[in-house]
Chains A and B, each alone.
Chain A
Amino acid sequence: MKFTIADLKRGQRGIIKEFTDDTIPLKLLEMGCLPGNDVELVQIAPFKDPLYLNINGSHLAIRKETALKVEIELVE
């Protein structure tokens, strides 16, 4: 089964594998959201969107629709 960032629970971590979609914005890459990097779900906003992430020490928030396009491998 494929996991994306949107499947993470609060405090759970994963490693970014690839993007399922070519429309992933360059800005996200520039902020450190790259294959191989560590991602942790820090907090979910009220009403379940957006998601507050810690990617390799960089803290940023993205919407769920974008999170769905970033495939990850879960770290137990």
Chain B
Amino acid sequence: MAKQINVALIGNPNTGKTSVFNHLTGLNQQVGNYPGITVEKKEGICKLPRGLKAHIIDLPGTYSLNASSLDENLVIELLLNKNDKDYPDVAVVISDVENLKRNLLLYTQIKDLGIPTILVINMADRMELKGISIDIDLLEERLKTKIALVSSRKNTGIEELKELIINYGRIPTEPCLNASSIDPEYFDRLRKAFPNQSLYKLWLVITQDVNFGNLNRKEINLTQDFLPKKKSELKRLQQKETIARYQFINGVLKETHTVDINAAKDLRAKLDRILTHKVWGYVIFFSIMLLIFQAIYDWSSYPMDFIDMAFAELSEWSKNVLPAGVFTNLISEGIIPGLGGIVIFIPQIAFLFLFISLLEESGYMSRVVFLMDKIMKRFGLSGKSVVPLVSGTACAIPAVMATRNIENWKERLITILVVPFTTCSARLPVYLIIIALVIPDERFLGIFNYQGLTLMLLYLLGFGMSVFSAWVLNKIMDIKGKSYFVIEMPDYKLPMFKNVAINVVEKTKSFVFGAGKIILAISIVLWVLASYGPGDDFNNAETVVTQEYGNSLSEEEFNKHVSSVKLENSYIGIMGKAIEPAVAPLGYDWKIGIAIVSSFAAREVFVGTLATIYSVGSDDEKTIKNRMAAEVNPILGGPLFNFASGISLLLFYAFAMQCMSTLAIVKRETNSWKWPALQLFIMSGIAYVAALAAFQILK
């Protein structure tokens, strides 16, 4: 088989890099993590003409090779390390036809590394609309490369790009900018000290916090006859380099690129005027949020009911069809209800990711950042914290990672600390089932569903708590840092169906499989703990029931009492009884206590745990919801899940830090155990107190 061509896709954010990646690889892609860090690694295989193949890596978006974040570090490390297995044979720089000038800055830097570099000018379909014309042949000559004019929206130019990738060997590798022109004297000394290295690479290693190959920064600084520069001098040289690059680019574009300004007056200005308006801007933002939450609740209830029923049937069916025995019980009472507990949330999670990716793809999210910055700043956050807080409604893990583009450390740290208060999708399962049990399914003023409103309130509570704790943290934390804020305001675009669809599928898949593994493992452990017990009472449950009730019971009632005696005397029953005193004041029984403890790993385990415990305990009710509704409070009598205990549980889950993965991510992003430990204790403390207060007041 012919060798695969290694291709790296590089580009500024908002250039449609991901669309090009999707066109090249289709669904033939996988998303993983770079070893040791949590930056998402997207790679895929692209079939080229003549039976060739390319291995394509979609590198994180970056404005330049001057790294200021982990994601950007990664781009540089890969491009500097010839020994990396992913080191590209050819780099493809994606640019946006409307921001060509800014995009070319990165292009010239990549080109100067000596890697064959193809330039893609994307969104070519907008050229006419914007009055842009480009002399491609001349531009290719001046930039010493090959150019592909691509429209990922209209799906044109992709085949041409594939041809260019095959013929990458013909692309010249000479640099655009002579590195030593930045400071001839300094670079002269550098050349003498390291005669065998590329000057531009040396320069990057000196100015960046990265190592490459057999050369690292310490070594350079320790080399004799070579006097390192001070940090501030280096910074000035970096500025000089940037200006020199822009001079080169301006010169090139003046000859090859014209814009008819009259054609460029457009929709953007009109939309901006409304969407960032001091009144309408906020009204529109909150209406969109309201719409999203109503939609998630209303639209997804149909497929969810269906899935709930289907799994109940499946469990029943497997019990009847498979030969009776321990293994069948494990499948029908342990594994199937456990899996059902996760599959049921696919509709909602898919909807949530759908809306978030629509907001991001359309360019609207940047307007929200712009609109909210001043307000957020008052609470010690940045406008850019809005994106983590909103994507925190999907999952806190990507949200914590999304804080990386916040420039100020204090604002970033506060955002990381408060993000887990936002209502992530893992809380939804818990909320939904409890809301369904304790809030009436009626309409308020004939329009708003009470259950939907409750859900909306819970989301607002999450946001409110994040903002409030941010305000407190901002007052008590004493961290000084340079504060600045730059955000690109991309053009509005109609979201592309393919991008949105792939995003929704990928995110949902990783949620289901990631959480699914934990849930499956926990549900098996729980089933074992609930099906076996240590003492005589467990093994002789029938005798215990007979002694207590005599022979007056019907067979059905008898069996019911036997299973409940068994459950109470199983391992899990004993553990649950031990923690019951701690949860009883909150209105919970020991079963809920066990569900809370086991959901420490991940919140969504709560429902799966209850499903497993209850399906071991009773046979007559099929769906999880019906089983929960039938539970009785052991101390107070009456339904276990009533308004008071329901609200108490909702509040507990709204505030508690019940997610090990988030704690791990926070540790990684803040590089200290101090912050995740703080989150764990403070959040869980608040949760306990709030739940206690709610139950005691409402009961």
Binding site for B on A (CB under 8 A): 22-23, 25-32, 34-35, 42-43, 45-50, 52, 56-63, 65-66
Contact of B373 with A49 in the complex, beta carbons under 8 Å? yes
B60 interface residue per 8 A CB criterion: no
Q: Check A46–B373 contact: CB distance below 8 A.
A: no
A30 close to B64 (CB less than 8 A): yes
On whether the beta carbons of B101 and A63 are closer than 8 Å, the reply is no
Q: Which residues of A contact B101 (CB under 8 A)?
A: 32, 56-58
B488: interface (CB < 8 Å) = yes
Q: Which of B371-408 contact A (CB under 8 A)?
A: 371, 373-375, 377, 383, 407
The answer on a CB contact under 8 Å between A31 and B272 is no
> Does B239 sit at the interface, judged by CB under 8 A?
yes
**Contact at A61–B370, with CB atoms within 8 Å?**
yes
Query: Which residues of B does A touch, CB under 8 Å?
Result: 63-64, 66, 68, 98-99, 101-102, 105, 232, 235-236, 238-239, 242-243, 246, 259, 269, 272-273, 276-278, 281-282, 366, 369-371, 373-375, 377, 383, 407, 482-491
A30 and B105 contact, CB distance less than 8 A: yes
Decide if A50 touches B374 in the complex (CB within 8 Å): yes
Of A23, A34, A43, A61, which one neighbours B242 at CB under 8 angstroms?
Answer: A34
Please count the residue pairs between chain A and chain B whose beta carbons lie under 8 angstroms apart in the complex: 112
Nearest B residue to A64 via CB reads B374
Contact yes or no, B276 A66, CB < 8 A: no
Are B242 and A59 in touch, CB under 8 angstroms? Answer: no
A63 touches B373 (CB 8 A): yes
In the bound complex, CA of A60 to CA of B484 (Å)? 13
Contacts of B491 in A (CB 8 A): 59
Contacts of A28 in B (CB 8 A): 484, 486
Complex CA distance for A13 and B373, rounded to whole angstroms = 24
Min C-beta distance of B306 to chain A, whole Å: 45
Instruction: Find out whether the CB atom of B407 lies under 8 angstroms from the CB atom of A25.
Output: yes
Q: Which residues of A contact B242 (CB under 8 A)?
A: 26, 29-30, 34
When the two chains form their complex, are residues A60 and B235 in contact, meaning their CB atoms are under 8 A apart? Answer: no
Question: Given A26-B239, A32-B246, A57–B488 Cβ distance below 8 Å?
Answer: no
A57: contacting residue among B98, B243, B269, B483, CB under 8 A: B98
How distant is A19 from chain B, measured CB to nearest CB, in Å? 9
B66 adjacent to A57 (CB under 8 Å): no
Q: List 11 A-B contacts (CB under 8 A).
A: A29-B242, A32-B246, A43-B272, A49-B377, A50-B383, A52-B272, A52-B276, A59-B490, A61-B487, A65-B483, A66-B484
Known: A32-B102, A46-B374. 15 other contacts (CB 8 A): A22-B232, A22-B236, A25-B407, A26-B242, A30-B105, A35-B243, A45-B371, A45-B373, A45-B374, A50-B374, A52-B276, A62-B484, A63-B483, A65-B484, A66-B486
